[in-house]
Amino acid sequence: MVVFDIVWMLPTFADAAIGYLVATSITVIALYSAYALPIFLRLRLRLGARFRQGAWTLGRHYRWVDSIALVLFGGWWLLSARHWFPGPVRQASFEELEAASRSTTISASMRTVKSRLTAARTALSRILNEKGQNR
């Protein structure tokens, strides 16, 4: 899973904001999967006596508690959430987002170049003034 996450993140290293959003999305999906997957697998695989219980266990009550949790969540989604939650809302077209990203990157790059040139000009004038005073 970690290797998958790293490979998934490689294209986003060029832009830190997109990288942050991708990493946050992957983390949220993994978090919900980490809670839901064991419940689903325990009910689906029906391991019975072969299942080794951990320190945090419901004992023999796991089946009805897990079933109720899945039914409540599924029912909530089917009856309510799917009607009022439209999912992420697109704010702009892909082309508009690309253009904004390019202009932001270019302007940030230009600011960096300008600040470095200003710093170099200041350092050069300081050196020239010091040499002029030493003569």
List pLDDT tens digits, range 25-41: 888 888 888 888 877 77
> DSSP secondary-structure letter at 14?
G
Q: Is the pLDDT of residue 71 over 70?
A: yes
Percent of the chain exceeding pLDDT 70 equals 79
Residue 67 Cα distances to 37, 40, 43, 84, 127, angstroms = 13, 9, 8, 25, 77
* pLDDT score, position 11: 67
Tens-place pLDDT, residues 5-15: 677 677 667 77
Q: Is the pTM of this model over 0.75?
A: no
Q: How far apart are the first and last CA of the chain?
A: 67
* pLDDT score, position 42: 73
Domains of the chain, by residue range, sit at: 93-135
Residue pointed to by tokens 């960096």: 112
Q: Are the C-beta atoms of 69 and 39 separated by less than 8 Å?
A: yes
Task: Give me the mean pLDDT over the 97-125 stretch.
Answer: 72
Residue 15 Cα distances to 21, 87, 102, angstroms = 10, 24, 10
**CA 76/CA 74 separation, integer angstroms:** 5
Q: Are the C-beta atoms of 15 and 101 separated by less than 8 Å?
A: yes
**CA 107/CA 60 separation, integer angstroms:** 62
Lowest-confidence segment of 18-27, 48-57, 105-114 by average pLDDT: 105-114
